[in-house]
Each structure stands twice: as C-alpha cells, then as structure tokens.
C-alpha cells in the first residue's frame, strides 16, 4: 500500500510539474523577439522550473551531510527559480482567466442583444393589423386598376363624384393592407434570422455561457458567499485572488510534490547498506595507532609552567566533543586480532545504535569517511570491503562473517 501511494503521489507531482514547465515555456517563449530567441527563453524557463523540483532533494541532502555552504547555495537557487516560475504562472493564469471572462461577457452580451431584437420584432409583428397575403392583395389592386373609375380619377389622384370617391377609398384600403402584408413579411424574415443565430449559438456549445449573467461565475459565486459571512469582496478582487491561488497551487505542488511523494521510501537509510561495496574504494589502508589512543589525545593536559612566571598556572587544552561515530566505536566496536567486519554489517549496526540513541544516522558516505578517520584498516576480501581487526561487541555476527578468515599481519623479521 505504501508503494501504491508513493507511485500515485509521484504521478500527481509529475503532472503538476509538467503543467508548470509548460506555462514557464510559454511565458519564456513570449519574451523572444524572434522564434529562435523565443525557443531559447522557453527552454531556459522550462529547465529552471524543473530544477525547482530538484532543489529540495539537494538542499536536505546537503544538510544531512553537513555541507552548509551547499545548503545555502541551494536555498538561493531555489528562491530565484521559484520567484521566476511564480511570476510566469501568475501572468499565464491571469491572462487566461481574464481572456476567458472577456469572451464569456461578449457571448453573454451578444446573446442578450439577440433576445432583445427577437422580442422587439415579435412585438412589432403583433402591432400589424390583420391582413391577407401580399400577393392576394396585390392581385385585387391590379384588378381594380383595370376599371374605368381608375382612369376617370387619374389613378385616384383626381377624385370627382361619389362613385370615384368610393372606388379610390377601396383602392387605398387595399394599398394599406398590402403595406401591412409586406411589413409582416419583412419582420418574419428578421425573426427567422434571429432565431437561426440563437440556434447556432446554442448548437456551438455557447448556450451555457450566453445565458450566464456573470462573465466569471466562479468569482461571482465566491464573492456572494463571502458576503454571507460579512466579507465585502468585489468580483474583480476575487478574480485576482483566484489567479494567485492557481499560481501558488502549481508552484507549491510542482516544487515540493516530488520531495513529499518520495518520503514514503527511505532513500538514504534503506538503500545505503546495499550499496556499501560500490561506495567504498577497494584500496587497503596502512595500519595506524589504535582508536583509543586517538581519542585519548583529546584528554586534558597536565599543568605546565609558563616562562617568566614564578607561579605554575594550569593550562588546559580545549577538548572537542566526541562525535556520534566515535561514541558508536567506543560502545559497539572492539579490537580483535584476526577479526574483520564488512562495511554493510558495520553500517547496519550503526543504524541500530542510532535508533537506540534516538539519533538521526549519517549517510553511508559520511559515516564511512568519519569511521575511516579513526584509523581502522580497510581492505577488499572475497570481493567485499571489510574493516580489519575490529568486531561488534554485541557478538551478532552473520554466518558469512564467521566463514571469512583474515590472515594475521606478518612482521618484517618473519617476512625475511
């Protein structure tokens, strides 16, 4: 289960890192005057964003190995790349949010205008009197023009007598009906066009955005929720806050996601003993004085006489505190001729000692370096790195340790 969670965490962090790197690449690409300059800036921005996710590993590894200068350098680098990545993420998120909000506002306004035009045309259609089709009315008007009264009245421009007056009134009534029919046809075409545009807007998936009264519904809803709890936040301020939140999500998730996901696997502690034979050199070191003599050199010195002084003033040397490796050696290691101890077994016993003492164990390279400074001989026997002349006080020696015999050192006289 732990490995499943770790894999899922790494995948999620990788997605956030890929999104953040893509945003940085687009931001860097926009800075170039030419396409080549844009590619250069984009590649540098993406590489800086990826390096942002790796710096936490370097930083805590430097602290574990007590390399303070490297830890400080990692901190400076991380602050710079994080600030650069954050600015690009903010710019990209703001640009996309405001562009999307502007498009939604334009669609909403256009939809509302079409609805208003449709309502106006339908109202005008209701105002038109009852009428017959324009062709039927025109046909009746053409029939009246063939009568003698049309000629007598000179096309109803010179009305004389009751007969021509009645005739012309009939003609004028038909002309008004014909005009109403023509207006109704025009309004019918206009209504059909508006309905077609509305149908196209709905068919293109813009119905949801067009019907919204707010350009940014998320910011509007959050602003209303904030008003319920007594916080008067404007929609514009909420949009800015959401933009910052998205940028922080990407930067924090991509910056620390990998380091947090890998915490399920103890990379330094569990894998280091298995890599002991690969991390330690195979060259044998010369035999030096016992470790107890080295530690004894740190004991306080006896009082010495100071020149040109009648009194003997006791002068003591400053004694450096024992390191954890020296304490481990004194408590768990004993010197025995003919014995040897593999680097893996030694490091495993050191980890067990650290757990008993509630201490954080050193990494294998650091432990091997400090243990080697205590003067223990090291050699490669049967393909494995071993420490000569030492054994564990606990007596927990594996069968592999018991089968290995170490030849005793040969003196110069015997060699001759």
**Domain edges within the chain:** 2-104+234-264, 107-211, 270-299+321-407
For residue 193, name the pLDDT band (cuts at 50, 70, 90): very high
Rounded CA gap, 63 and 70, in Å?
8
Burial class (CB in 10 A: 0-12, 13-18, 19+), 355: exposed
Q: Is residue 259 very low, low, confident or very high in pLDDT (cuts 50, 70, 90)?
A: confident
pLDDT of residue 215: 66
d(C-alpha 351, C-alpha 270), whole Å: 10
Contact 378, 386 (CB under 8 A): yes
Q: For residue 111, which of 28, 225, 206, 223 has the smallest C-alpha distance?
A: 206
Handedness of CA 116, 121, 123, 124 (dihedral sign): positive
Q: What is the CATH number of domain 270-299+321-407?
A: 1.10.10.10
Q: Which residue has the higher pLDDT, 364 or 216?
A: 364
Mean pLDDT of 220-230: 79
Question: Is a pLDDT exceeding 50 seen at residue 224?
Answer: yes
pLDDT, mean over the chain: 75
Q: What pLDDT, on the 0 to 100 scale, is given for residue 398? A: 52
C-alpha span between 392 and 349 (Å, rounded):
8
pLDDT, average across residues 389-410: 60
Better-scored residue on pLDDT, 48 or 175: 175
271 confidence band (pLDDT: 50, 70, 90): very low
pLDDT at 208 over 60: no
pLDDT for residue 305? 44
> How confident is the model at residue 312, as a pLDDT?
52
Cα 405 to Cα 285, 330, 349, 385: the distances in Å are 18, 24, 21, 14
- In this prediction, residues 101-107 reach a mean pLDDT of 72
**What is the predicted pLDDT for the residue at 139?**
93
Q: How far is CA 18 from the centre of its chain?
A: 8
Does residue 102 carry a pLDDT above 80? no
Q: In DSSP terms, which residues pair with 391 in a beta bridge?
A: 334
Residue that wins the pLDDT comparison between 192 and 205? 192
pLDDT score, position 266: 55
For the ranges 20-34, 147-161, 317-331, the maximum mean pLDDT occurs at: 147-161
Looking at residue 197, what is its pLDDT? 87
Residue with the bigger pLDDT between 67 and 88: it is: 67
Q: Which residue has the higher pLDDT, 116 or 42?
A: 116
Q: Which position has the higher pLDDT, 238 or 289?
A: 238
CA distance 369 to 353: 18
Which one is predicted more confidently, 118 or 404? 118
């Amino acid at each position: 289960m732990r490995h499943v969670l770790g894999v899922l965490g790494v995948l999620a962090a990788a997605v956030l890192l890929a999104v953040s790197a893509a945003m940085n690449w687009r931001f860097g690409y926009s800075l170039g005057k030419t396409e080549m300059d844009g590619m250069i800036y984009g590649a540098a921005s993406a590489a800086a964003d990826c390096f942002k996710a790796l710096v936490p590993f370097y930083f805590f590894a430097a602290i574990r190995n007590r390399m303070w200068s490297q830890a400080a350098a990692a901190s400076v680098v991380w602050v710079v790349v994080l600030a650069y990545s954050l600015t690009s993420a903010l710019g990209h998120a703001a640009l996309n949010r405001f562009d999307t909000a502007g498009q939604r506002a334009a669609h909403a306004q256009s939809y509302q205008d079409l609805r208003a035009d449709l309502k106006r045309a339908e109202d005008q259609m209701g105002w038109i009197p009852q009428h017959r089709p324009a062709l039927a009315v025109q046909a009746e008007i053409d029939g009246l023009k063939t009568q003698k009264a049309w000629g007598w009245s000179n096309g109803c421009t010179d009305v004389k007598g009751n007969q021509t007056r009645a005739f012309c009134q009939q003609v004028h009534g038909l002309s008004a009906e014909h005009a109403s029919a023509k207006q109704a046809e025009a309004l019918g075409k206009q209504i059909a066009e508006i309905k077609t545009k509305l149908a196209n807007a709905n068919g293109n998936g813009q119905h949801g955005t067009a019907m919204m009264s707010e350009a940014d519904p998320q910011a509007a809803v959050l602003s209303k929720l904030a008003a319920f709890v007594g916080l008067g936040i404007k929609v514009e301020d909420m949009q800015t806050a959401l933009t910052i939140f998205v940028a922080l999500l990407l930067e924090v998730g991509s910056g620390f996601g990998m380091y947090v996901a890998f915490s399920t696997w103890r990379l330094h502690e569990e894998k280091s003993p298995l890599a002991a034979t690969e991390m330690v050199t195979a060259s044998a070191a010369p035999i030096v004085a016992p470790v107890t003599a080295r530690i004894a050199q740190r004991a306080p010195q006896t009082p010495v006489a100071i020149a040109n002084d009648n009194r003997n003033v006791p002068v003591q040397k400053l004694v450096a505190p024992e390191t954890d490796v020296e304490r481990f050696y004194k408590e768990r290691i004993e010197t025995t001729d003919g014995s040897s101890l593999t680097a893996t077994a030694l490091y495993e016993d050191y980890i067990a000692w650290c757990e008993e003492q509630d201490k954080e164990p050193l990494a294998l390279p650091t432990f091997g370096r400090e243990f080697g400074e205590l003067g223990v001989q090291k050699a490669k026997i049967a393909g494995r790195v071993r420490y000569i002349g030492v054994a564990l006080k606990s007596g927990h020696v594996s069968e592999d340790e018991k089968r290995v015999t170490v030849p005793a050192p040969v003196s110069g006289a015997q060699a001759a």
